[in-house]
Amino acid sequence: MACSGPFAAPLRSHLHHDATPRRRIERTIPVSLTRPRDRSSADFLQLRGEILELLHFAGSGA
């Protein structure tokens, strides 16, 4: 089954971000978290925040 969207691949070892209309990979983020992923761990939350900021989904904190 094919998945799409920014969070469609939770088991991948890396994520690719394309931000241009031509679908050029802008950045590759390595994911070195052990499996199964602990979604409450500091490392997971730090990586999640980095991804959300890259996708402009991060809150302003204000």
Domain boundaries, the chain: 14-54
Q: How much is the pLDDT for 24?
A: 77
Tell whether the model's pLDDT for residue 2 goes beyond 60. Answer: no
Specify which residues 18 forms β-bridges with: 25
Q: How much is the pLDDT for 43?
A: 94
How far apart CA 26 and CA 20 sit, in angstroms, is 8
Q: How much is the pLDDT for 3?
A: 44
Report which DSSP code applies to 25: E
How far apart CA 45 and CA 38 sit, in angstroms, is 9
Length of the chain counted residue by residue: 62
The answer to whether 35 and 11 have CB atoms below 8 angstroms apart is: yes
- Tokens found for residue 10: 């939770």
pLDDT digits (tens, 9 = 90+) for 3-57: 445 444 455 677 777 766 777 777 888 889 988 889 999 999 999 998 888 887 7
pTM above 0.75, yes or no: no
Report which DSSP code applies to 42: H
Tell whether the model's pLDDT for residue 58 goes beyond 70. Answer: no
